[in-house]
Structure 1
Amino acid sequence: MKKKIGISYTETNFQNYWNWFTNADLGDEIELIKLSFEKNNLEDLQECDGFLLTGGIDVEPSYYDGPKNYPYKPAQFLPERDHFEKLIYEYSQAHKVPVLGICRGMQYINILEGGKVLADIGGANEIHKKQTMDKVHHVKIGHNSMLYAIIGLEKGLVNSAHHQGVTNNTLSNNLIANSYSLTSDQLIEGLEFKDKTDKSFMLAVQWHPERMKEKEVNPLSQKIKERFIEEVKKHKK
């Protein structure tokens, strides 16, 4: 029976996440499932051996006791999506299913683990917020982190397209930052569990590995994907 990766549906560039997993990656062993809040296909969760929580619209502020109004607030939130992805994450933790979070996915994992997000990162938008195309900047990776073990680099170049973020002041007590922006804003660029005992794989990054330039050779895309696929293959229901 094939392993299955459930990708949460996003209204923003969903196909990029789907296409990130090539035929060579999937082979005859893995297939993809779209987990959609619009279809509410929660019954498919039990079929999955890995979950990818995607980027997209801001999480509704009530989930992290955030402000009702802030810069770049979306015209409309998607509380149905927030609720649906909350159930995905809770399922992943109850059944020890590997999780990869990207951009909003990283922020939401921090929220669901008891942390918060900055509703808007202010002046750092000049470096991080997408305009006509993704911004590009360096990140510093912590030596003792799982991310460093995967990447094998102290520093790397990533893309950026966000106006919300996680800092040490809003970080969940259950998580650690594995990477930071090298700019003066000190935004957290990646998260993993502080205590990995009896936990399945969970890695979350603020950048977009699925649409990064030269993603096939940049380890901050390719090696992350390879490790996630390894964990999916190892998962036992």
Structure 2
Amino acid sequence: MMHPAIKIGVTYTGSDEKHSNYVQWLKGSDPIEIITLQPQHTDLSCIKDFDAIVLSGGVDMHPRFYNNPNIIYPNAPLHFHEKRDEFEIAVFHESQQCQLPLLGICRGMQLINCIQGGTLRQDIGTISNAIHRFEEHDKAHGINIVKGTLLSEITGVTRTITNSAHHQCIDLLGEGLTINCGSDDGIIEGVEWTEKENKSFFLAIQWHPERMYKFHLSELPSAKNIRDRFLKEIKKVA
């Protein structure tokens, strides 16, 4: 008897090429169905039919979603996508209502932090951008993982390498969140729930595990272990 495929909803990152990285990384060789979530095509009532949600990377959130009136700052996008922001905020709330496993990646982590009442540093500055900001390619750097966290349990290490493609970061930490790792220059690289009891799996990270294969780093715990654990958690509830 064939088991039905796992069904994961992934928010559209804004580029077909980048979105395909999520699809390939999550599917691997497993019977997994990836559904693209977009404000113009997705009925929020269908979220309950998924087995898990991934909030993907992409363009900066509009600053109004973290109560900042400043829309002109270094490396700001030419256009914000407020409909995407509003849609993904609604997807997050629906996923939590349905207790679906949730993975937030890059922008996805920043979005969740803001939903929880946190704020963002609008641009991390010249020195940190040299380490973190995407130029022609992703960059790579080390992270230090906090012992005793979910991320520590998943990776089994206290230090590893990640890729990097961001110019914003968490400033004020959102309510109910705990920092699980950081970069050497002090940027928050991952968060999770402080209180995990009676909550579905949740992990949010600043890097892009879905494209670490480009660095030949896809077997590192910061990519492979996260995918493996995410799928394991999905199978528990699917």
Question: What's the TM-score, normalizing by structure 1?
Answer: 0.93
2:157 matches 1:138: no
CA distance in 2, matches of 1:215, 1:16: 14
Residue 192 of structure 1 is matched in structure 2 by 192
Q: Per the alignment, in what secondary structure is the counterpart of residue 141 of structure 2?
A: strand
CA distance in 2, matches of 1:11, 1:2: 25
TM-superposed CA distance for 1:84, in Å, is 0.8
Judge conservation of contact 1:215–1:222 (CA < 8 Å) in 2.
no
Q: Which runs of 5+ in 1 are unaligned?
A: none
Query: After the TM superposition, which segments of 4 or more aligned residues of structure 1 sit over 4 Å from their partners?
Result: none
CA distance in 2, matches of 1:52, 1:106: 10
Count of equivalent residues: 229
Q: Which runs of 5+ in 2 are unaligned?
A: none
Judge conservation of contact 1:121–1:165 (CA < 8 Å) in 2.
yes
Judge conservation of contact 2:129–2:167 (CA < 8 Å) in 1.
yes
Q: Deviations over 1:115-152 (max 9, x none)?
A: 11111111311111010011111000001110000000
Residue 183 of structure 2 is matched in structure 1 by 181
Report the RMSD for the aligned CA atoms in angstroms: 1.3
2:42 matches 1:72: no
Residue 129 of structure 2 is matched in structure 1 by 125
CA distance in 1, matches of 2:33, 2:42: 20
Judge conservation of contact 2:27–2:33 (CA < 8 Å) in 1.
no
Judge conservation of contact 1:40–1:84 (CA < 8 Å) in 2.
no
More displaced 10-residue stretch of structure 1: 128-137 or 215-224:
215-224
Q: Deviations over 1:1-26 (max 9, x none)?
A: 433110011113111111112342x2
Identity of aligned residues (%): 39
2:152 matches 1:148: yes
Q: Per the alignment, in what secondary structure is the counterpart of residue 21 of structure 1?
A: helix
Question: What's the TM-score, normalizing by structure 2?
Answer: 0.92
Q: Deviations over 1:17-50 (max 9, x none)?
A: 11112342x23xx321111123133243121110
Judge conservation of contact 1:5–1:232 (CA < 8 Å) in 2.
no
